[in-house]
């Protein structure tokens, strides 16, 4: 019988190959959500009506609205590139394997291409490539991780040519935010990413701070430092609000806090306390298999309350919606287990456990993380999770592959390898 380390090592290679050989699209960048059965991009006639309904409901007038097929092609490409790049940098640090450097370099040049592509619309933009086309549209989540790791590769592993290219784009990207007054195009709407201050504002701040680390231009550092101070004063660190709706941010916010400890802004807040609180919350949100259970986490009581799986109708109170109340969709599905993003979020929480272990906070963190990673096999690389409780009209969503699951799984795995956990 294979050991835990052997099983995880075999799966790491499988997920690496899936990303490099299956998830790569015709223009070389990763496809965000291909078909699970054929691993090719969705065609317009193959998409699920629920996906188009969700797009129709929240899309604003600023940017051209993508079709469901275009949305599935490039919605999460940016952070897929970023997470996989990070996983391969961790791998290279842990093993020195040449394959890791090759894979990381592929992501670096993908990111460079996406900067170039988005620049056709607006200099310095890094937009979601819906349908593989240029865009200046993005969101919080797609801001930090790809740019942070793009910059880190440039500063540590890049050739001189790669470094010069990256620094040019990082400067332009910093200017993109500052010239716009921190306003981005998000889902067809103008969205200020720092006003009001919110915990996820750190994602855009980190993207701008990379321009300082790349160029030494203090304008970027000072702009971020000022906004970070406003966030601290808002009281929204470490938590946006109580209760906290369980999400991937338990790792993402912790990662950003860990990053600030390495910068000139390390003394602006007790970043380790944030990581400690996120690390303490994660075990409460996992089931016996190591999978996330979506719900509300009471940050004061340390108690997690799963959602009651149901359809939310237009007649429900606004407070019952996850996110803004819908404008055109008659009902939304709310699930604690049978829901979108369960596999990906579970992988992020495994990474969050290992981040807390790095800070010597959660004693058995690696054991809990291993349980999650062992549960997430090739069959779970899907956008929507269904253990039998997904409504019949949504079961077609199970055919949406989510390579981001494999990328984040690899982040957690190589974090553990670097720590000697397996």
Single pTM value for the model: 0.96
Of the CA atoms within 13 Å of residue 29, those in its CB half-sphere come to 30
Structure tokens at 129: 């490539």
- Position 319 pLDDT exceeds 70: no
Higher pLDDT, 406 or 362: 406
- Position 208 pLDDT exceeds 90: yes
- Position 173 pLDDT exceeds 90: yes
Task: Write down the pLDDT at residue 361.
Answer: 76
Confidence of residue 304 (pLDDT cuts 50, 70, 90): very high
Task: Write down the pLDDT at residue 322.
Answer: 56
State mean pLDDT over 234-243: 96
- Residue 209: name the closest of 160, 255, 259, 271 by CA: 259
Residue 372 belongs to a domain with what CATH number? 1.50.10
Mean pLDDT for the chain overall = 94
Task: Write down the pLDDT at residue 346.
Answer: 98
Confidence of residue 22 (pLDDT cuts 50, 70, 90): confident
- Summarised one tens digit per residue, pLDDT across range 252-289 is 999 999 999 999 999 999 999 999 999 999 999 999 99
State mean pLDDT over 9-25: 93
CA distance 191 to 174: 17
Number of domain units in the chain: 1
Confidence of residue 235 (pLDDT cuts 50, 70, 90): very high
- Residue 80: name the closest of 346, 404, 348 by CA: 404
In percent, the amount of the chain with pLDDT more than 70 equals 96
Q: What are phi and psi of 340, to 5 degrees?
A: -75, 145
Reported as type and span, the H/E element at residue 409 is: helix 403-419
- Position 244 pLDDT exceeds 80: yes
- Position 21 pLDDT exceeds 70: yes
- Position 325 pLDDT exceeds 60: no
Structure tokens at 284: 């409460």
Note down the domain range covering 53: 4-419
Residues contacting residue 399 through CB under 8 Å, at least 6 positions apart: 35, 36, 37
């Amino acid at each position: 019988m294979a050991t835990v380390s052997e099983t995880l090592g075999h799966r790491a290679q499988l997920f690496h190959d899936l990303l490099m050989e299956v998830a790569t699209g015709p223009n070389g960048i990763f496809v965000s959500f291909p078909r699970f059965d054929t691993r090719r991009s969705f065609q317009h006639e193959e998409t699920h009506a629920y996906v188009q309904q969700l797009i129709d409901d929240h899309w604003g007038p600023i940017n051209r609205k993508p079709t469901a097929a275009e949305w599935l092609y490039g919605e999460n490409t940016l952070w897929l590139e970023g997470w996989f790049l990070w996983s391969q940098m961790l791998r290279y640090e842990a093993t020195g394997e040449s394959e890791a450097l090759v894979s990381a370099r592929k992501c670096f040049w993908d990111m460079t291409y996406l900067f170039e592509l988005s620049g056709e619309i607006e200099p310095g933009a890094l937009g979601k490539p819906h349908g593989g086309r240029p865009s200046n549209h993005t969101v919080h989540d797609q801001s930090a991780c790809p740019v942070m790791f793009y910059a880190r590769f440039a500063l540590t592993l890049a050739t001189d040519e790669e470094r010069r290219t990256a620094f040019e784009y990082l400067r332009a990207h910093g200017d993109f935010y500052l010239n716009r007054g921190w306003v981005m195009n998000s889902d067809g709407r103008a969205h200020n990413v720092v006003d009001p201050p919110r915990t996820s504002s750190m994602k855009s701040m980190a993207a701008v701070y990379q321009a300082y680390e790349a160029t030494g231009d203090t304008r970027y550092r000072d702009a971020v430092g000022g906004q970070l101070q406003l966030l601290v004063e808002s009281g929204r660190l470490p938590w946006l609000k109580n209760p906290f709706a369980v999400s991937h941010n338990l790792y993402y916010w912790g990662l950003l806090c860990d990053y600030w400890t390495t910068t000139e802004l390390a003394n602006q807040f007790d970043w380790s306390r944030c990581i400690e609180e996120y690390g303490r919350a994660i075990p409460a949100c996992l089931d016996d298999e190591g999978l996330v259970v979506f719900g509300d986490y009471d940050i004061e009581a340390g108690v997690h309350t799963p959602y009651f799986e149901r359809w939310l109708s237009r007649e429900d109170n606004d407070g019952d919606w996850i996110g803004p109340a819908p404008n055109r969709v008659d009902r939304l599905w709310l699930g604690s287990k049978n829901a979108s993003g369960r596999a990906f979020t579970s992988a992020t929480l495994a990474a969050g456990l290992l981040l807390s272990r790095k800070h010597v906070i959660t004693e058995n963190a690696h054991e809990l993380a291993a349980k999650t990673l062992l549960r997430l096999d090739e069959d779970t690389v899907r956008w929507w999770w269904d253990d039998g409780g997904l409504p019949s009209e949504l079961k077609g969503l199970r055919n949406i592959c989510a390579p981001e699951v494999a990328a984040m799984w690899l982040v957690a795995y190589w974090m553990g390898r670097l720590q000697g956990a397996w």
